[in-house]
């Protein structure tokens, strides 16, 4: 799940140079022999740090360290409710005040949101995985004067309806994730007022092949993906709207290994993630050229 409200890394562009940039990657033939939690950290010219496969305890430790050094999360995704693992991307920005909480249950997530709002922090990102009482969530809260609304446990039909209503009211989606099951996916989303860029379209339950075709079709309509999430069952939900970021590169159906390799490459080339999500061993990401 990726925070999408900042325009430097919020939206994706339809093309770079002269053609749409779509790259659909297949999972790696083999994963590393060890499956224990590991992390990939790059201190690059963009001041990006990528962390992957962290346990909740490891994430808590890294959050304390990174916040203390002026880093804030640009993306956060949790997968595998039975043994939660956290993937995140951080960027140096000392102007923002944030709080990152993990290991939340479905029952205390809403209370946590209420408590954070009372403390002056609004939800900026919500990510979840799992089903029912076993579902696990993490969230990023940020101090902001913007009007923010969040919704949890939305069905596919409810999410599409709420997205249209929010867009009509001038709210733009800034966070999206899908959890639950393939038969009954549930949606968690955050919207921010004042950033809407026209009508919003939502596509749900698409395979990787359908999603690739959709990108090309939406590009012809002048639309781009402003939020994307991997659903249970290796399907994709995407929110499409107008946008103004440049240099879109999109990678779907990545394995953990191929995601790490691709993320390193994109960061070196000066790209920042506009969307990042992982579910069921599948990683998907969209990158845009960072503002100079």
Q: Among 79-83, 115-119, 249-253, whose mean pLDDT is lowest?
A: 249-253
Measured distance CA(196)–CA(192) in Å, rounded: 8
Per-residue pLDDT at 196: 57
How far is residue 228's CA from residue 237's CA, in Å, rounded to a whole number? 6
Residue 222 confidence (pLDDT): 87
Contact 73, 97 (CB under 8 A): no
Integer-rounded Cα Rg, in Å, for the chain is: 17
Residue 52's H or E segment, with its range, is strand 48-54
* Overall average pLDDT of the 63-72 stretch: 96
Which of 110-119, 191-200, 255-264 shows the lowest per-residue confidence on average (mean pLDDT)? 191-200
pLDDT of 67 higher than 90 = yes
Give the residue-averaged pLDDT of 242-250.
75
pLDDT band at 198 (very low <50, low <70, confident <90, very high): low
DSSP state of 89: E
Lowest-pLDDT range, 10-14, 141-145, 162-166, 288-292? 10-14
Please state the rounded mean pLDDT for residues 8-22: 29
Q: What is the mean pLDDT of residues 141-150?
A: 95
Is pLDDT at 178 greater than 80 in this prediction? yes
Predicted pLDDT of residue 45: 43
**What is the pLDDT, as a whole number, of residue 194?**
80
pLDDT on residue 106: 86
User: Is the Cα torsion angle 167, 177, 1, 273 positive or negative in sign?
Assistant: negative
φ, ψ dihedrals at 52, nearest 5°: -140, 150
Tell me the two tokens of residue 289: 């050229």
pLDDT tens digit sequence for 23-42:
444 333 333 333 333 344 44
pLDDT band at 292 (very low <50, low <70, confident <90, very high): low
In this model, does residue 5 exceed pLDDT 80? Answer: no
- Determine the pLDDT at residue 54: 96
């Amino acid at each position: 799940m990726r925070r999408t409200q900042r325009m430097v890394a919020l939206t994706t562009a339809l093309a770079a140079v002269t053609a749409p940039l779509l790259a659909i990657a297949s999972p790696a033939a083999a994963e590393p022999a060890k499956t224990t939690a590991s992390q990939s950290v790059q201190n690059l010219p963009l001041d990006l740090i990528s962390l992957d496969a962290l346990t909740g305890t490891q994430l808590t430790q890294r959050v304390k360290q990174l916040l203390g050094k002026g880093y804030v999360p640009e993306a956060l995704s949790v997968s595998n409710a039975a043994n939660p693992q956290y993937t995140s991307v951080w960027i140096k920005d000392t102007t923002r005040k944030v709080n990152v909480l993990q290991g939340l249950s479905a029952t205390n997530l809403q209370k946590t949101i209420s408590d954070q709002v009372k403390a002056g922090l609004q939800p900026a990102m919500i990510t979840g995985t799992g089903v029912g009482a076993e579902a696990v969530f993490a969230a990023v809260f940020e101090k902001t004067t913007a009007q923010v609304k969040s919704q949890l446990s939305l069905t596919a039909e409810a999410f599409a309806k709420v997205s249209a209503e929010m867009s009509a009211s001038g709210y733009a989606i800034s966070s999206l994730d899908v959890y639950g099951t393939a038969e009954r996916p549930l949606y968690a989303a955050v919207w921010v007022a004042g950033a809407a860029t026209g009508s919003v379209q939502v596509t749900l339950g698409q395979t990787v092949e359908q999603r690739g075709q959709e990108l090309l079709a939406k590009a012809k309509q002048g639309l781009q993906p402003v939020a994307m999430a991997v659903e249970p069952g290796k399907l994709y939900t995407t929110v499409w709207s107008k946008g103004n970021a440049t240099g879109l590169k999109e990678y779907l159906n990545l394995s953990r290994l191929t995601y790490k390799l691709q993320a390193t490459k994109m960061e070196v080339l000066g790209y920042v993630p506009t969307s990042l999500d992982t579910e069921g061993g599948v990683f998907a990401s969209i990158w845009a050229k960072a503002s100079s």
